[in-house]
């Protein structure tokens, strides 16, 4: 719900910016257009940066960090594993 609202706010700001630019109010219009586009694009693509939860154990070399987190998208507890060499994190469903 909040995500949809923020996308709507971003689109409205971008549209208002375009209208202001068309009306000759360049500085305000460009600022509003940029803010609207940044808001919309960041909210739309923010879900792609989170790693999915995996069922399997991580490959050799990965270390259990001891962290346990409740993933709200699936409603289950997941264990956090890290790769000491790269710092990458992997989320594994706790059985």
**pTM: predicted TM-score of the whole model, two decimal places:** 0.53
The answer to whether residues 44 and 14 belong to one domain is: yes
Ramachandran bin of 38, using left for φ above 0, alpha for ψ from -120 to 50, beta for the remaining angles: alpha
Average pLDDT over residues 14-29: 95
Residues 42-63 have a mean pLDDT of 77
Helix, strand, coil shares of the chain as percentages rounded to 5?
45, 25, 30
Regarding whether 64 and 83 lie in a shared domain, the answer is: yes
Q: What tens digit of pLDDT does each residue of 24-39 get?
A: 999 999 999 999 999 9
Are residues 70 and 34 part of one domain? no
Asked if 20 and 33 sit in the same domain, the reply is yes
Which residue segment(s) compose the domain that 75 sits in? 53-93
Both 11 and 35 in one domain: the answer is yes
First to last CA, the chain: 31
What's the number of domains the chain is made of?
2
pLDDT mean over 56-64: 87
24 and 61, same domain (yes or no): no
Asked whether residue 38 falls in the same domain as residue 64, the answer is no
């Amino acid at each position: 719900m909040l995500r949809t609202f923020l996308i709507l706010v971003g689109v409205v700001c971008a549209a208002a910016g375009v209208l202001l630019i068309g009306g000759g109010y360049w500085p305000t219009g460009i600022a509003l257009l940029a803010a609207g586009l940044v808001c919309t694009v960041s909210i739309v693509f923010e879900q792609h940066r989170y790693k999915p939860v995996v069922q399997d154990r991580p490959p050799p070399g990965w270390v259990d960090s001891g962290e346990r987190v409740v993933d709200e998208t699936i409603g289950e507890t997941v264990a956090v594993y890290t790769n000491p060499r790269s710092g990458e994190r992997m989320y594994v469903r706790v059985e």
